[in-house]
Amino acid sequence: PLMTCYLTDHTSPDEIERGFSERVWIAAKLYPAGATTNAHHGVTDLVGLAPVLERMEKIGMPVLIHGESTDPSVDIFDREEVFMEKSLLPLLKRHQGLKAVIEHVTTAGTVDIVRAHAPRVAGTVTPHHLVINRTSIFQGGLRPHLYCLPVAKRESHRLALRKAVTSGESCFMIGTDTAPHVRGAKEAECCSAGIFGGVTALQTYVQVFDEEGALDRFEAFASLNGARFHGLEPNKGTLTLLKRPSSALSAVPVDEKEVVVFRGGEVLPWSIGEVKA
């Protein structure tokens, strides 16, 4: 596996460089402290992180960013937009050679930022943000298994994401952000953020590309753009997707509990066929 390291306020530039040069990790994850599940030890001061980012800029090591404001006064649906304006754009201006990936993009504005700063900036998009919007979370009642961070946005943003990923632009790439939480942690008074979409991710992505008339652009999005951005050779193995109905289990067992699968139990238009190593 290709590993990343977790940036904190106490991360050492020398340690970052040593791990990168020895291929212990290929990139660093930047979580604003408290922005998402398990981000409590994240970064509280982006300006104070400058020595680390300067070293990463020097050695060509990408930073992978969860782009949401943690200011409690900011509306949850505006946190990505506020982070981009107040934190990301100043960061990119301060570190003009830094390679960055904005993870799990959810807004049209962030799509525009990725495009404006390509090729040194790229963006990943999840399968669920391509098929649900914020109304989905409340459709017929509160649906905790559709709650994730960044939270799904209004329909106009979902449509912008679909156009971006199917555009053929190399700055957009696959990124499932699959997050398994047992049913009890989701169906709770204060539920965990995250959607377990890994089981149905490829079937969902390819369905979107099919619906948008862009199947010829799917391989680049799924297999090539990310590898090229990180300076890696594409995998030699192949996976065949078939336009044949399939379905996944509605939940998968974990010890004596279970994790609900995104789109589990639905009839999916596409299925996974032959896999060759």
Active site residues: 177
Q: What is the DSSP string of 146-214?
A: G--SSPP--HHHHHHHHHHHTS--TTEEE--------HHHHSSTTPPP----GGGHHHHHHHHHHHTT-
Cα first-last separation, the chain: 15
**Is residue 229 classed as helix, strand or coil in its secondary structure?**
helix
Residues forming a β-bridge with 259: 252
* Closest residue by Cα to residue 257 from 153, 179, 159, 183: 183
Q: How far is CA 71 from the centre of its chain?
A: 21
Measured in degrees and rounded to the nearest 5, phi and psi for residue 57 equal: -60, -40
CA 145 → CA 156, 170, 208, distances in Å? 22, 31, 21
**Cα 65–chain centre separation:** 9
